[in-house]
Amino acid sequence: MTMAGMTQAATPPAKADNASTDPYAWLEDIDGAKQLDWAKQHNAETVQKYAQSAQFKQLDASILEVLDSRDRIPAVSLLGDKLENFWRDKEHPRGLWRRTTLAEYRKNQPAWETLIDLDALAKAENENWVWHGSSCLRPQERLCLVFLSRGGADANVVREFDVVTRQFVKGGFELPEAKSNVTWKDADHLYVATDFGAGSMTTSGYPRIVKEWKRGTPLASAVTVYEGKNDDMSISAHRDNTPGFERDFVHRQIAFYNSETFFRGKDGKLTKIDVPNDADTDVEREWMLITPRSDWSVGGKQYKAGSLLAAKFDDFMAGKRDITVLFEPSDTTALDGYSWTRHHLILNVMDNVVNKLEVLTPQAGAWKREGLGGAPALSTISASALDTDHSDEYLLTVSGFTQPTTLYYGSVDKGQPEAIKHSPSFFDASKFEVSQHFVTSKDGTRVPYFQIAPKNLKLDGTNPTLQYGYGGFEISLQPAYSGTIGRAWLDRGGVYVIANIRGGGEYGPRWHNAALKANRLRAYEDFAAVSEDLIKRKVTSPAHLGAMGGSNGGLLMGNMLTLYPQLYGAVVSQVALLDMQRYTHLSAGASWIAEYGDPDKPEEWKWIQTFSPYTNAKAGQKYPPVLFTTSTRDDRVGPVHARKMYAKMAGLGYDTSFYENIEGGHGGAADNKQSAFMKALEYTYLWEHVK
């Protein structure tokens, strides 16, 4: 569940548009006592109806067993000369930040050194801390900035921590709770973008000003590096501390797909990197990689949207345009990512939503290319470097819907990688088969989807089927193992479907752009086309077909509910956007105008209202039962959308349910126990209605 992962401000006062005539506008006061009592009352009703049975409690415990399993693969990244991991289990529900050596990590039962016990810290400080990560000063990575969230909100408290003494640094850098972007410049200086007071935040609720802050001085004395405009999304700065290639950059995020990056010289002068505003840039040692989101003409040549381009950074800044094409998309392929090792670039490409890896080695002209590993059919494979400064070592993961994740360790030019970790099996995958299908959407576009179903599936239209989708922000849905889905849905005889609809990134920028703003309905037409194909193929029927999605996918669910109610037996909408007339005035909504449009502009509201579920819900329809789940501490989308949509649907007499987790943030849950409960509630609700 994501909205491209930014933080945001508290909800501003209701604007005098439809809020003045909206009977449910009073629910927009997120933390009001009356509003929280309302939420708790409806939570209790939902729990009484769906979370009291022995079957629910068994499912809850079964999912929690998956989430807390000590046999899961600990995800790691390099921290100095060791590997760090953040780990939650039954004994440590809030989690441990810990580290170990590579040699120890390769053992079945590594010995870990605890850096921070978040449960102990939360208890000592009487706080409901949720871990939001760390940022450590390269190359030694002894001093770290630790980010702690109250209850899972995106806003963080920042503290300096010493991993050698395993203590917070007395008198060290600290910032109060805010929507901050903080990075190291050197041991005695930070780049800080935060809430400096009145006028320092954008209309999206993010920092508008970035400053350089010196150790031992008050934050008020920090020196301004760059100021953005009020209607920018956010401003930030960082230093690349790669030894021998130390460089400083300032980033101005104007809108989601519109940004400027500046090189900051030693004299503080800013020089804009001359690439299109919709292009992403990444500088590593002598190289700059450029990914344009639209076709780019430069130096007498044309480069396709979604390509990956390489240029020598210093040469480019000096005006040269010697650009090498590392990847160019086709009708079926898209860039899925890349990772630098010391001497190579590992390239990850999707072909019809299935991964393929290549190793590229810089050289004059076309870079040398070699394959790296191979993934089983209909699976996901990815590789990430361990130490970009010194080695060509990497970790490679392979996962599929019925294939538990395997972690490999390898080094480029040293043969095949070695399997070092295996995720446990949480359900009997031998009973199921995975297939990929394609369906023609309303406008003739070919849309892929994955189906995970029992072998020898009877095509009689009676199979309980759950269709999941997202369709936004160029985010792809790819094959991945889930013990939760296996236990909660597949093991009970259900069919699970992933719809790779437009708005996502499955075919790169063109797939995303096809469902932006006025074209948003294309995403919903694609999802409906997949549903209709499942019904046509007699995999299922409307009475047995459920749909679920979160965040932007929750908006998708709201539209399937209001635009295509005849296709579904039940819908679950998680942490969703739903009131598209008010969304820019609720939580971080203003930051997503580039995705959906601006409802305050009458000419744009004309088409935004066609996909505003809260606007379009009306009496006298045959809507399927619907469950809205959200979190009070979700300061990204916020609980307001779900509250109001539920209240309106209930007021119109429809079969609707609601649950608002008081903690959790945009992920919906602050720990594994809460997460298991939420998942068990959602799957129990679906089984109740589509079995």
Active site residues: 551, 666
Torsion on CA atoms 18, 20, 22, 27, rounded to nearest 10: 110
Fill in the amino acid letter for 12: P
Say how far apart CA 592 and CA 615 lie, in whole Å: 19
Q: Which residue reads 């007395």 in tokens?
A: 170
Those residues with Cβ within 8 angstroms of residue 155's Cβ, 6 or more apart along the chain or in another chain:
7, 149, 177, 178, 179, 635
- Asked if 666 and 634 count as a contact pair (C-beta separation under 8 A), the reply is yes
Query: E strand or H helix at 422, and its extent?
Result: strand 418-422
- The one-character DSSP state at 207 is B
Report how many helices (DSSP H) and strands (DSSP E) the chain contains, helices first: 14, 39
Indicate the SS3 state at residue 501: coil
- Asked if 227 and 209 count as a contact pair (C-beta separation under 8 A), the reply is yes
Q: Which residue reads 């240029």 in tokens?
A: 311
Q: How far is CA 398 from CA 357, 401, 449, in A?
A: 11, 11, 20
Radius of gyration of the chain (CA): 25
Say how far apart CA 487 and CA 688 lie, in whole Å: 16
Say how far apart CA 301 and CA 312 lie, in whole Å: 17
- Asked if 577 and 583 count as a contact pair (C-beta separation under 8 A), the reply is yes
Say how far apart CA 627 and CA 622 lie, in whole Å: 16
Instruction: State yes or no: cis peptide before 139, omega within 30 of 0.
Output: yes
Q: How far is CA 600 from CA 223, 295, 333, 492, 642, in A?
A: 36, 30, 37, 47, 21
Q: Please name which of 7, 297, 267 lies closest in space to residue 155, comparing C-alpha atoms.
A: 7
Point out which residues pair with 190 in neighbouring strands: 184, 213
Query: E strand or H helix at 492, and its extent?
Result: none
- Asked if 175 and 194 count as a contact pair (C-beta separation under 8 A), the reply is yes
Indicate the SS3 state at residue 574: strand
Count the residues in the chain: 691
Q: What token pair was written down for 626?
A: 């619907």
**φ and ψ of 183, to 5 deg:** -140, 160
CB atoms closer than 10 angstroms to residue 58: 11
612: exposed, middle or buried (C-beta count within 10 Å: 0-12, 13-18, 19+)? Answer: buried
Q: Which residue reads 């001497």 in tokens?
A: 343
